[in-house]
Homo-oligomer: A and B are copies of this chain.
Amino acid sequence: MKTVATLAPLTTQLLEITRINSAASVLSWDQETYMPAGGGEARAEQIAVLQGIAHDKLVAPDIERFLAATVDPATGQAIDQPGDLWDEPSRSLLREIWRDFSRAKKLPSDFVIRLSRETSLAQQVWAEAKAQNNFRQFLPNLRTVLALKREEAEYLGYETSPYDAMLDAYEPGATIATLRPLFAQMKARLVPLLKRVTQSPNQIDDRILRHAYDQTRQLEFGRLVLVAMGYDFERGRLDLSAHPFTTSFHPTDVRVTTRIHEHELQSCLFSCIHEGGHGLYDQGLDQRYFGTPLGESVSLGIHESQSRMWENSVGRSRAFWQFFYPILQQTFHDQLHGIDLEHFYAAINCVKPSLIRVEADELTYNLHIMLRFEIEQDLIEGRTNPGDLPDIWNQKMQDYLGITPPTDAEGVLQDVHWSFGAFGYFPTYTLGNLYSVQFFEQAKLEMPHLNEEIAAGQLLGLRRWLEQKIHRWGRMFTPDHLARRVTGTSLNPEPFLTYLETKYSELYKL
The distance in angstroms between the C-alpha atoms of A236 and B35, with both chains bound, is 8
Chain B residues with Cβ below 8 Å from A53 are: 20, 53
**Smallest distance from the beta carbon of A296 to chain B beta carbons, Å?**
15
Q: Mark A42-54, 1 if CB is under 8 A from B, else 0.
A: 1101110110010
Report copies per complex.
2
B34 & A46 in contact (Cβ 8 Å cutoff): no
Q: Mark A420-449, 1 if CB is under 8 A from B, else 0.
A: 000000000000000000000000000000
Instruction: Tell me if A237 is interfacial: C-beta within 8 Å of chain B.
Output: yes
Tell me which of B19, B26, B41 contacts A49 (CB under 8 A): B19
Interface positions of A from 6 to 59, Cβ below 8 Å from B: 16, 19-20, 22-24, 26-27, 30, 34-39, 41-43, 45-47, 49-50, 53
Instruction: Tell me if A252 is interfacial: C-beta within 8 Å of chain B.
Output: yes
Tell me which of B39, B49, B235, B250 contacts A23 (CB under 8 A): B49
Chain B residues with Cβ below 8 Å from A26 are: 26-27, 30, 46
Instruction: Tell me if A249 is interfacial: C-beta within 8 Å of chain B.
Output: yes
Interface positions of A from 164 to 187, Cβ below 8 Å from B: none
Q: In the complex, what residue of chain B is closest to A53 when comparing beta carbons?
A: B53
Instruction: Tell me if A334 is interfacial: C-beta within 8 Å of chain B.
Output: no
Given known A23-B49, A26-B30, A30-B26, contact A37–B249 (CB-CB < 8 A): no
Instruction: Tell me if A233 is interfacial: C-beta within 8 Å of chain B.
Output: yes
**Smallest distance from the beta carbon of A423 to chain B beta carbons, Å?**
27
B249 & A36 in contact (Cβ 8 Å cutoff): no
A16 & B253 in contact (Cβ 8 Å cutoff): no
Instruction: Tell me if A232 is interfacial: C-beta within 8 Å of chain B.
Output: yes
Instruction: Tell me if A234 is interfacial: C-beta within 8 Å of chain B.
Output: yes
A22 & B46 in contact (Cβ 8 Å cutoff): yes
B43 & A20 in contact (Cβ 8 Å cutoff): no
The distance in angstroms between the C-alpha atoms of A30 and B27, with both chains bound, is 9
Interface positions of A from 320 to 334, Cβ below 8 Å from B: none
Tell me which of B38, B50, B233, B255 contacts A232 (CB under 8 A): B38
Chain B residues with Cβ below 8 Å from A234 are: 36-38
The distance in angstroms between the C-alpha atoms of A237 and B41, with both chains bound, is 16
The distance in angstroms between the C-alpha atoms of A37 and B53, with both chains bound, is 28
The distance in angstroms between the C-alpha atoms of A235 and B255, with both chains bound, is 24
Chain B residues with Cβ below 8 Å from A232 are: 38
B23 & A249 in contact (Cβ 8 Å cutoff): no
Q: Mark A232-257, 1 if CB is under 8 A from B, else 0.
A: 11111101000000000110110100
A253 & B45 in contact (Cβ 8 Å cutoff): no
A252 & B23 in contact (Cβ 8 Å cutoff): no
The distance in angstroms between the C-alpha atoms of A236 and B34, with both chains bound, is 10
Q: Mark A250-266, 1 if CB is under 8 A from B, else 0.
A: 10110100000000000
Q: List 6 A-B contacts (CB under 8 A).
A: A23-B24, A26-B26, A26-B46, A34-B34, A38-B232, A38-B235
> A-side interface residues toward B, CB under 8 Å?
16, 19-20, 22-24, 26-27, 30, 34-39, 41-43, 45-47, 49-50, 53, 232-237, 239, 249-250, 252-253, 255, 290
Q: A23-B46, A23-B50 are in contact. List 6 more A-B contacts (CB 8 A).
A: A19-B42, A19-B49, A38-B235, A39-B249, A39-B250, A46-B249
